Amino acid sequence: MGDNRQGGGGLRAFVGGAAVGTKAGSYCGQLGFDRSGEVARALGQEQLAEDHFLAGLKEDPRNFYLLRAYADLLIDVGRASETLPLLQPHLADEGILLRAAIAAAQKGGDPQAAADLRNRLKDHFQEIRLRASEPHGKFESRFELELNHNPQRALDLAVANWKKQKEISDARTLLEAAVVLKDRAAAQPVVDFLTEHRTQHVVLQRLMAELVVEP
């Protein structure tokens, strides 16, 4: 996957669906707080990412993209308890509801709140299908993996979603399910795509290392 050193030279990071050339510490003005935060995460610079997300949310507290991204960061670094107050006013958004449910289900969370949010999300997906539509693939895949504990269903959804769109979050969703199932074959198209586009992202690299998938 190439050089993953932080803070030096140019780095190709696949952020929000686009591969962009960046330099650590100099990209906020070029990309805005949302994408600059995602680039910092790709570099493994979690504090810098948090600074960007918080600055963006100060300007626009209802920016759902930033709220989702910041919630993911907090969950990843073990600060899920900080996530629920942040997300509570915005649970009508599917992606925010998902992250709130995941945060509540973390160790030390509120079991009743976790169950209520999980059921609310499950009902939401069912309502979408009753309207002859389909839930967002990566959201439903995360639900199945992290809340419904059904990794095969999660992988199936992630694979189908990957055929439709290819962003960092889509890659991560598929790789996480593949890691649980130790399914290297399912992960290989993602690895091939990331390699072709010279994508650098510390979380994706860690997941691929767990699968021991060779690019």
Pair 203, 7: CB distance under 8 Å: no
- Determine the pLDDT at residue 32: 78
- Determine the pLDDT at residue 110: 81
- Determine the pLDDT at residue 54: 96
Instruction: Quote the mean pLDDT of the chain.
Output: 85
How do residues 115-139 score in pLDDT, each as one tens digit?
A: 999 999 999 999 999 998 888 999 9
Dihedrals phi, psi of 14, to nearest 5 degrees: -90, 105
- Determine the pLDDT at residue 34: 82
**Amino acid identity at 127:** E
Structure tokens given for 43: 């570099």
pTM score of the predicted model: 0.83
- Determine the pLDDT at residue 159: 98
| Cα(139)–Cα(68) distance, integer angstroms | 11
Confidence grade of residue 212 (pLDDT, cut at 50, 70, 90): confident
Beta partners for residue 11, in sequence order? 22
**pLDDT at position 19 over 70:** no
**pLDDT at position 155 over 90:** yes
- Determine the pLDDT at residue 12: 44
**pLDDT at position 27 over 60:** no
- Determine the pLDDT at residue 107: 77
Beta partners for residue 10, in sequence order? 23
Show me where the domains of the chain are located. 136-215
**pLDDT at position 17 over 70:** no
How do residues 59-112 score in pLDDT, each as one tens digit?
A: 999 999 999 999 999 999 999 999 999 999 999 999 999 999 999 999 777 889
- Determine the pLDDT at residue 61: 93
**pLDDT at position 146 over 60:** yes
Torsion of CA 109, 115, 120, 121, to 10 degrees: 70
Beta partners for residue 19, in sequence order? 14
